[in-house]
Amino acid sequence: MTGGHTLMAKEIKTIGVLTSGGDAPGMNAAIRAVVRKALVNGVSVKGIKKGYKGLLNEEIIDLEKKDVSDTIQRGGTILGTARCMEFLTEEGQAKGAEICKAHGIDGLVVIGGDGSYRGALALAKHGINVIGLPGTIDLDIACTEYTIGFDTAINTAMQAIDKIRDTSSSHERCSIIEVMGRNAGYIALWCGIANGAEDILLPEKYDYDEQRIVNNIIHNRKRGKTHHIIINAEGIGHSTSMARRIEAATGIETRATILGYMQRGGSPTCKDRYYASIMGAYAADIICQGKTNRVVGYQHGEFVDFDMEEALKMTKDIPEYQYEVSRVLSM
């Protein structure tokens, strides 16, 4: 796991840091840690605004210790982020590497998800040292048990679902609440258990048997339950049309709520700030040592690093026991 390619001939004098893909609470804590630890290591830091798009547009600024003061508690990313189609091309990637070299950037810390790492690997092929940090609310990076932003997102969603549950119970409704996570069901699983949902629909497990859900709702109503909460992952989606079908089948008023981008915002939790800070410092250390093509992760209680190409090939799935528990507790 640890180790990796070390370019002994390449002395690291200046590094860059960027955030890419969807933003996640805690990214600012990671940026702050990268900047401050690199400066302590005697290495200059440049911030690249708006991800790879900003790199290609040369939106590059010097970052000093004071520039990251009063940022650890802020949601979003102070550097900004953007999607960039041009960087998916060979020409765009070569241009990005040339811009790094023109600005004296020897290595780049990329905070984001799998797509961001693929962009980083493209830069590595052109001679730029790269380190990846797992920044995504989805928890869908296989090499790490934890991703920056997940804890804040699930707490934001949990609090919103609690409020919906209050009004759902008052009106004796069925509520479908759609949470984020792309094609991964981790947010849905965690909130489903934490909010005591009656049904949890995960992309990895759902068999699209709506009749089973309908039967469950009717059974619970006969038992005297005044509400029915369904947590639906965005990888399944179509919550509004599902609500219409369930209401038609059960005769029980059913409403869909899509929590959406609120899950990406807000001040990061203590856990996200802490993990982002340690991971950011770790990334700064290994890039300053000359390591490249590594992803920082958290496994078995330790902060570690993995080969980036190997990390992208890894897979992870919903833990079977946790899924079984979610089903048992919802009965």
Structure tokens at 290: 């000359």
Is the distance from CB of 119 to CB of 20 less than 8 angstroms? yes
Radius of gyration of the chain (CA): 22
The residue whose two tokens read 């759609």 is: 178
CA dist 144 and 109 (Å) reads 17
Is the distance from CB of 132 to CB of 40 less than 8 angstroms? no
Is residue 130 packed enough to be buried (19+ CB in 10 Å), middle (13-18) or exposed (0-12)?
A: buried
Is the distance from CB of 28 to CB of 119 less than 8 angstroms? no
- Catalytic residue (choose from 23, 106, 114, 138): 138
Q: What's at 271, amino acid-wise?
A: K
| Buried-exposed string 296-310: b where 16+ CB fall within 10 A, e elsewhere | bbbeeeebbbbbbee
Q: What's at 329, amino acid-wise?
A: L
307 is catalytic: no
* H or E segment and range at residue 121: helix 114-124
Q: Is 109 helix (H, G, I), strand (E, B) or coil?
A: strand
The residue whose two tokens read 């090939």 is: 313
Measuring CA to CA, how many Å separate 191 from each of 49, 116, 195?
33, 27, 6
The number of residues in the chain equals 331
* Residue 17 Rama label (left phi>0; alpha psi -120 to 50; beta): beta
Measuring CA to CA, how many Å separate 202 from each of 43, 169, 323?
44, 24, 9
CA dist 177 and 131 (Å) reads 36
Q: Which residues are catalytic?
A: 138
